[in-house]
């Protein structure tokens, strides 16, 4: 029986391994992590991540051919294939600070693999790491190998949170990069056979190591660029009276462009986009390509601009001050159907409003109070470390309360900011909400999900990203 071990039971490792276990009953899959609470949660009814469809997959396989454990060394020792899916934070100090990936966790995982291995292994890079990381890891492994042969493969993950299970069941493609030696090709074939249990052969692409790694960064940079492009257009729409949804639709009907990923928003978030672009920028700079680096940097700059533009709209609309006003924040996760808050635009928007002394009342169906307080008190790059190494006991931000109901959050509020496109926010009783708010009552829709005309009929002053402005807002121009 082939044995797989995955180091890192996070958003990538957990769902990916669960689906491999489901689709390959003949393979034994162990997911290991240094975090005891995380593994305990994977072994309980309350999984550590919220992902539609994940519960059912885990229930079916756990204890059969899927195991979650903190015994990292035992499972690595036994495995034929080791996936490494550990944190790759942005460096905060030293060479490449603010851009380059900090490979501390990857390096320690590689050294541990070399230490405990007594048989040949395939080591698969699964987390997003910069181009040429595989080479560094290969060096660590071979220099500590004691005669054992390691083959390193890069198998970047393309799943999106909220649709992870669907994406894993029906991937657009599976990409596997390997060495162009006979041993490298053999390893590549072994991993290909795992995916071939459910993915059509023509969708399993094989490349050299560096192409696979760069493709991941490139794909995320292209996707993020679409959002920054449409967000840049949204500012122009507001200034001219065009409607971004009409513009996006018209642009997307061109088959060369396509309709997906053209929704204007308060900004993109998530664990990948910003980090991957920063890596790309760093790699370009290191390779003497400052113009290319500058080009990609702009995607992040527009994203930051979009978030501060939103905050400015809120403040300027409300008589240029939100000091001591109650602002309801609906949605904190970086997108719907996930409880993940990594790099969520809500962090910068909330910090911006707190900077103007607002009182925030936050509701998100999947994010806990502890997580929100942690996010609002954490430094920029601290989020991407194993949880037990993150700053402990966050000092609670006093002007923030977290509630478990949208009606509670909006009660007596002066304004509402919708920051995540949760379906339930479309179906709220806005008449009831209006009646319980201070007047004039404002809605700032950062995701374009409410029916602005209906809300205006109720009496709200509504701001929708990239749409023709209310007369009220026109008189109060917001310049970032
Ligand atoms: C992304 C990639 O899609 C995935 O392939 C990769 O493996 C990891 O990074 P993810 O971060 O989970 O996945 O979410 P994604 O759906 O890409 O959304 C990223 C951000 O962009 C979210 O904040 C989302 O709200 C925002 N977004 C997306 C928009 O603002 N407008 C859009 O049209 C689409
Ligand atoms: P991703 O979104 O890439 O899956 P996560 O942060 O959700 O990232 O998951 C990474 C996991 O890797 C964390 O649960 C962390 O505890 C774990 N981890 C980090 N370093 C090691 C290590 N050396 N051995 C085992 N697990 C590790």
pLDDT tens-digit readout, 170-226? 999 999 999 999 999 999 999 999 999 999 999 999 999 999 999 999 999 999 999
Asked whether the predicted pLDDT for residue 33 surpasses 70, the reply is yes
What pLDDT is attached to residue 394? 57
Tens of pLDDT, residues 448-475: 999 999 999 999 999 999 999 988 787 7
The whole-number average pLDDT for the span 245-270 is: 98
**Which residues form the pocket of ligand 2, taking CB atoms under 6 Å from any ligand atom?**
7-13, 32-35, 38, 72, 85-87, 105, 108-109, 127, 271, 386
The predicted-structure confidence for 120-140, as pLDDT tens digits, reads as follows 999 999 977 777 788 888 889
Q: What is the pLDDT of residue 478?
A: 57
CA of 309 to the centre of ligand 2 (A): 34
Mean pLDDT of the chain: 94
More confident residue, 144 or 29: 29
Contacts of 151 (CB under 8 A, 6+ apart): 120, 121, 122, 123, 178, 179, 183, 184, 186, 187
Question: Quick one: pLDDT at residue 369?
Answer: 95
Q: Could you tell me if the CB of 434 is within 6 A of ligand 1?
A: no
Q: Considering only CA atoms, which residue is closest to atom 25 of ligand 1?
A: 335
Give residue-wise pLDDT tens across range 149-178: 999 999 999 999 999 999 999 999 999 999
Q: How far does the centroid of ligand 1 lie from the alpha carbon of residue 34, in Å?
A: 28
Catalytic positions are 272
Distance of CA 392 to the CA centre of its chain: 22
Residue among 158, 221, 273 to mutate when testing ligand 1 (max atoms within 8 A of CB): 273
Query: Which long-range CB contacts under 8 A does 378-385 form with residues at least 24 apart?
Result: 379/92, 380/92, 381/89, 381/90, 381/91, 381/92, 381/98, 382/92, 383/89, 383/342, 383/343, 384/87, 384/88, 384/89, 384/90, 384/271, 384/275, 384/342, 385/87, 385/89
278 lines ligand 1 (CB under 6 A): no
Verify whether ligand 1 is closer than 6 Å to residue 130 (CB atom). Answer: no
Ligand nearest to the CA of 7: 2
Looking at residues 41-61, what average pLDDT do you find?
97
Rounded mean pLDDT, 61-74: 98
Nearest CA residue ID for atom 26, ligand 1: 268
What confidence tens digit (pLDDT) does each residue in 302-352 have? 999 999 999 999 999 999 999 999 999 999 999 999 999 999 999 999 999
Q: What pLDDT, on the 0 to 100 scale, is given for residue 151?
A: 95
Tell me the best of 10, 88, 127, 133 to mutate to test the pocket of ligand 2, counting ligand atoms within 8 Å of each CB and taking the most: 10
């Amino acid at each position: 029986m082939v044995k797989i071990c995955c180091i890192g039971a996070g958003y990538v490792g957990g769902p990916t391994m669960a689906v491999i276990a489901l689709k390959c009953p003949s393979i034994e899959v162990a997911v290991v992590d240094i975090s005891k609470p995380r593994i305990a949660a994977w072994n309980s009814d309350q999984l550590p991540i919220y992902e539609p469809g994940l519960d059912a997959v885990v229930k079916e396989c756990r204890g059969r051919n899927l195991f979650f454990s903190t015994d990292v060394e035992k499972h690595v020792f036994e495995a034929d294939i080791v996936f490494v899916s550990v944190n790759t934070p942005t460096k905060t100090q030293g060479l490449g600070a603010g851009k380059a990936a900090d490979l501390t966790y990857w390096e320690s995982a590689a050294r541990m693999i070399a230490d405990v291995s007594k048989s040949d292994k395939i080591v698969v890079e699964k987390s997003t790491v910069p181009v040429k990381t595989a080479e560094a890891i290969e060096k660590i492994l071979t220099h500590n190998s004691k005669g054992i042969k390691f083959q390193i493969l890069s198998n970047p993950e393309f799943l999106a949170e909220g649709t992870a299970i669907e994406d894993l069941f029906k991937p657009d493609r599976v990409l596997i990069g390997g060495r162009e030696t006979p041993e490298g090709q053999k390893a590549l074939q072994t991993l290909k056979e795992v995916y071939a249990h459910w993915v059509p052969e023509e969708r399993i692409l094989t490349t050299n190591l560096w192409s696979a790694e760069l493709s991941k960064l490139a794909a995320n940079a292209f996707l993020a660029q679409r959002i920054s492009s449409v967000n840049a257009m949204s500012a122009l729409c507001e200034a001219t009276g065009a409607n971004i949804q009409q513009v996006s639709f018209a642009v997307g009907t061109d088959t060369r462009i396509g309709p997906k990923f053209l929704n204007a928003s308060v900004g993109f978030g998530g664990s990948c986009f910003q980090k991957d672009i920063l890596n790309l920028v760093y790699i370009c700079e290191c390779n003497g390509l400052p113009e290319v680096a500058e080009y990609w940097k702009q995607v992040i700059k527009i994203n930051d601009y979009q978030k501060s533009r939103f905050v400015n709209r809120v403040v300027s609309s409300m008589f240029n001050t939100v000091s001591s006003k109650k602002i309801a924040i609906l949605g904190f996760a970086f997108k719907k159907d996930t409880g993940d808050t990594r790099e969520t635009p809500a962090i910068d928007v909330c910090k911006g409003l707190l900077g103007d002394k607002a009182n925030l009342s936050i509701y998100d169906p999947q994010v806990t109070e502890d997580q929100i307080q942690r996010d609002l008190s954490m430094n920029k790059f601290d989020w991407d470390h194993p949880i037990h190494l993150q700053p402990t006991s966050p000092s609670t931000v006093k002007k923030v309360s977290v509630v478990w109901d949208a009606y509670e959050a909006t009660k007596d509020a002066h304004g509402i900011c919708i920051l995540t496109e949760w379906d339930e926010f479309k179906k709220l009783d806005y008449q009831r909400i209006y009646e319980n708010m201070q007047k004039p009552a404002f809605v700032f829709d950062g995701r374009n999900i409410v029916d602005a005309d209906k809300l205006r009929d109720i009496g709200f002053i509504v701001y929708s990203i990239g749409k023709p402005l209310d007369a009220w807002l026109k008189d109060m121009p917001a310049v970032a």
